[in-house]
Structure 1
Amino acid sequence: MAKVSVIIPVYNEEENIHHLVSELNSYFHDEPRFSTEVVFVNDGSSDATMERLREAPHHAYTYKIISFSRNFGSHAALRAGIQKAQGDYITFMYADLQDPLTLVSRLYEEIESKRVDIAWAFRNSTAVSTSEKLFSSAYAMLMRNYAVPNFPKKGFDIVMFSKKVKACLDNGIENNSSVFIQILNFGFKQSGITYDKRQRLAGKSKWTLSKKIKLLIDSFVAFSFAPIRLVSFIGIVFFMLGIAWSGYIIFRKIFFDDLATGWPALLSILMVGFGITNISLGIIAEYLWRTLDASRKRPVFVIDEVVEEAVEPSHVGNVLLDVYK
C-alpha cells in the first residue's frame, strides 16, 4: 500500500489544533487506498501550539512534529516537512482547513490515474476578502506575464508530488524563494483538479500584507529577469528621448533662439533623473542582496526538536512518543 505524507505548517494555531486533529483522525480512519503520515511543522509558535500537538490523540495516522527554534516562515516549514517526509507521495495542508481534506484523496487519484509526478489543486473559488482576491489576481497576472507562463490564473495552495520531485527539492533548497514555483518549473508531468476554498473556522490568518509583498518580491527576484530588463528598457527609452530632446534644443537654438533657460527645467530634469537612478539602484541592490544571502549559505530553517511516533497507528488507544533533541 502506498503512503502519503501530509505536511501541515502551524504557527500560533493553539485554538485550531483540537479541531484539526479531530478532522484528520475522522477522515484518514476511513481511507483504505493509502496509509497516511502527517508531518506537523511548528514554525516557532509563541503560544501553546506545540503542547496541543503533543497532547492530541493521533490515532488514524503515523506522525512527526517538527519544531523550529524560531519563526522562519511557511515556505521554510514546508521545506523542512518535505525533507523529513517518508511517503511515496507528499502533499500540503493547513491548520485552518480552508482547503478540504478530500483534496488528499482526490490528488492521490489524479496522480495515480494520470501517471504524473505532480498534481495541483487549483482554486475554483475562494472565500476571502476583496483585497486578498485583488492581490492574488494581480500576483498571478504578473507571474504569468513576466516569470512563469504556466502559472494558474486563480493560484494554488495545495500540490501532491512523487519522491522524484522530493529529491529535486531536497537537493535544491532555496532561501527567499517559492517552493510552489520551484515545483512548477521542474518540468515533470503534471495534472490538476479544481476545488472551492472554504471560510476559516477559527483563529486569524497569518498571511499578512508584509508576507504577501515579500512573496511577490521573492518570486520575481528568484524566477524572473523582468526587473533587470525593465531597468534596461527604461534606460534605452530615456537615452532615446535625451537624444531627441538634445536635437530639438540645438535646432531651436540655431534657427529660432527662443528657448528660455531657468531653474524649473533644470529641477525637473534632476528629479526625473535621480528618481530613475534610485529605482534602478534599488532593483540592482535587491539582486545583490540575494547573491550575498546565498553566498553566506545560512540555513533556511533550524530544527529545535522532532517528536516522532514509535508505533504504527491504531484506531483505538493511545500512541507512544519518542522525543529526539
Structure 2
Amino acid sequence: MVEAEAPPVLSVIVPVKDEEAGIAPFMRRIAPILDRVAGSAWEVLFVDDGSTDATLAAILAAHADDARVRAISLSRNFGKEAALSAGLDHVRGDAVIPIDVDMQDPPEVIAEMVVRWREGHEVVYGVRRDRRSDSLPKRLTADLYYRAHNWLSADKIPEHAGDFRLLDRRVVEVIRRMPERNRFMKGLFAWSGFRQSGVEYERAERTVGTTKFNYWKLWRLAIDGITSGSTVPLRVWSYLGASVALLALLYAGVVVLRTLLFGRDMPGYPSLMVAVLFLGGVQLISLGVLGEYIGRILVEVKGRPIYVVRETIGFEEGQG
C-alpha cells in the first residue's frame, strides 16, 4: 500500500512587542483551533520585535508547554513590516497565517480560511465587516486611505483588509524573493497576484495590552503604502506645473491685452503676492514629495538587512 501523504503544515506568524500578558491567552485560544484544522501539523512562530518587557520569557514558557511554539527575537524594534518579513523567512508551513496576538482578529476565522485554501485559493484575506470598534476619526481616515491607495496604485488592496490572511507557500516564496527594504506588506500581498478570496469577520475590542500604533505611525504607514506602490504622486507635479504654466501664460496675455487697450497695466500687488505664495507652496510640496522618494532610494541603495535576529527559540542548530 502507498502511504498517505503527510498533512500540510500550517504556520502562524505572530509579531509581538511588549505583549507579555497576551502570549498565554493567545495560545490557549488558538491551539485548539489549529488542532481541529491541521491536526498536529502546525506551528506558531512569534517574532519578538525588540520587546522591553518579559515577552520573550512568556514565549519561552509557551515553548516549554508545546514545542510547536517557536520564536525569533530581533536585535531591536524594526517595525511590524520587518517583523512580518522575518516571520515569512523562517516559517515552514505549506500555508502561512499572520495574525496579531491581541485576538482582535478572531482565530476562529482560520478554519474558514483553510477551507478556502483547500478549495484552491492561494491567498485568503480577512475583511472587517464593519469598523464599529474604531473611533469615528479612525474610520474616516481608514476609508479615505484605502480609496486613495487604490486610486493611485495599480496594485489594488482589498478595502478594510489587514495583515490577517492565509498565504500559500508559493505566495510566501514570491514575497521572500522581493529585495526591497521599504516594505508595505499589504501592497506586496496584492502585487503577488494568485487566486485571492475574502472572508468577512467581526473585529473585537482589544482586551489585553495596548496598541503600539498611534496616528503618527499610521500616517507614516500610509505614506509608505502609497509611495511604495505608485509613482503617481511624482507625475502629479508635472501635470500641475504644466497647468500653472498655462494659466500664467493666459494671464500674461490678458495683462498685455488690457495694457494695449487701456494704456495702463492692472493694479495687482495683492494678486501678485497670492500668486507668488501659491507657487512657493506648490514648489515646497513638490520638493517634499521628491524627498520622500529620494529617501527611499537612499534606503534601498544602502542595502542593509531588513531585520537582525538576536536569538531564536525552538530552532534546531543551523536551521532558519
Matched, 1:35 2:35: no
Partners of 2:98 and 2:164 within 8 A in 1: yes
Matched, 1:228 2:252: no
Partners of 2:63 and 2:69 within 8 A in 1: no
Partner of 1:2: 8
Matched, 1:22 2:28: yes
Letter in 2 for 1:118: V
- Of residues 74, 82, 88 in structure 1, which corresponds to 2:94? 88
Matched, 1:250 2:276: no
Percent pairwise identity: 27
Matched, 1:301 2:307: yes
Once superposed, what is the RMSD of the aligned Cα atoms?
Answer: 2.1
Partner of 1:318: none
Partner of 1:62: 68
| Residues in 2 aligned to 1:55 and 1:139: alpha-carbon distance in whole angstroms | 40
Partners of 1:16 and 1:203 within 8 A in 2: yes
- Of residues 126, 132, 143 in structure 2, which corresponds to 1:121? 126
Partner of 1:185: 191
If the length of structure 2 is used for normalisation, what is the TM-score?
0.91
Letter in 1 for 2:101: A
Which range is displaced more, 247-256 or 171-180? 171-180
Structure 2 unaligned residues grouped into runs of 5+ = 1-6
| Residues in 2 aligned to 1:169 and 1:23: alpha-carbon distance in whole angstroms | 29
If the length of structure 1 is used for normalisation, what is the TM-score?
0.90
Deviations 1:141-165 (A, max 9, x none): 1111111463223233311111111
Which range is displaced more, 104-113 or 244-253? 104-113
| Residues in 2 aligned to 1:77 and 1:56: alpha-carbon distance in whole angstroms | 20
SS in 2 for 1:175: coil
Partner of 2:56: 50
| Residues in 2 aligned to 1:149 and 1:165: alpha-carbon distance in whole angstroms | 15
| Residues in 2 aligned to 1:181 and 1:112: alpha-carbon distance in whole angstroms | 24
Superposition deviation, residue 269 in structure 1? 2.5
Deviations 1:114-142 (A, max 9, x none): x1221111111232222221121011111
Which range is displaced more, 169-178 or 4-13? 169-178
Matched, 1:158 2:164: yes
| Residues in 2 aligned to 1:213 and 1:253: alpha-carbon distance in whole angstroms | 50
Superposition deviation, residue 181 in structure 1? 1.1
- Of residues 144, 158, 178 in structure 1, which corresponds to 2:150? 144
Partners of 1:38 and 1:61 within 8 A in 2: no
Letter in 2 for 1:104: I
Question: Which stretches of structure 1, 4 residues or more, deviate above 6 A after TM superposition?
Answer: 322-325
Change (3 A) 1:32 1:84: closer
SS in 2 for 1:216: helix
Letter in 2 for 1:54: L
| Residues in 1 aligned to 2:66 and 2:285: alpha-carbon distance in whole angstroms | 54
Change (3 A) 1:26 1:58: farther
1:171-210 correspondence runs (5 A): 171-210=177-216
| Residues in 2 aligned to 1:223 and 1:195: alpha-carbon distance in whole angstroms | 27
Letter in 1 for 2:49: D
Superposition deviation, residue 33 in structure 1? 5.1
